Amino acid sequence: MKKYLFIALGGSLGAVLRYLSFKTFSWNSLLPVTTLIINELGAFLLAFLVSLSFESLFGEDLFVGLTSGFLGALTTFSTLEKEIFTFYSKGSFGTALLYALISVGLGLAAVGLGFKTGEFFNEKILSTLDAVTEAEEE
């Protein structure tokens, strides 16, 4: 039951942050930059948390609260799809294709960077903390 409360809390926070992001940041540009930034940040954070073994460090409840709840509500795949369709339906086929390719390309790059950052954190930071803890116990 606690897991579902974490998901609900994370989802609420993610949805509010997404709403505030769209209300606060608006650029007059060819592409929907706010959606792009939110989705790429979410892709990075999800990969980082997974590669960090966050679930084993802090437990399943907090992990699903952050991933399925917070990041699930923050990221905006449905908005991305709507924006691509809007470009397409207005006859902006090139812009629709460009936006789709940029979103997927940057998303994959963000996931790769998130995994690499998490692996680095695991290797360098957590191993150092483990060594310090072991030295203190002796």
Single out the residue of 108, 10, 115 nearest to residue 52, CA to CA. 115
Q: Tell me the mean pLDDT in the region 32-46.
A: 93
pTM of structure: 0.84
pLDDT score, position 30:
86
pLDDT score, position 52:
84
Q: What's the 3-state SS for 35-75?
A: HHHHHHHHHHHHHHHHHCCHHHHHCHHHHHHHHHHHHHHHC
Instruction: Give residue-wise pLDDT tens across range 77-124.
Output: 888 999 999 999 999 999 999 999 999 999 999 999 999 999 888 888
68 falls in which pLDDT band (50, 70, 90)?
Answer: very high
pLDDT score, position 37:
93
Residue 115 class from Cβ within 10 Å (0-12 exposed, 13-18 middle, 19+ buried)? Answer: middle
Instruction: Give residue-wise pLDDT tens across range 5-35.
Output: 999 999 999 999 999 998 898 777 888 999 9
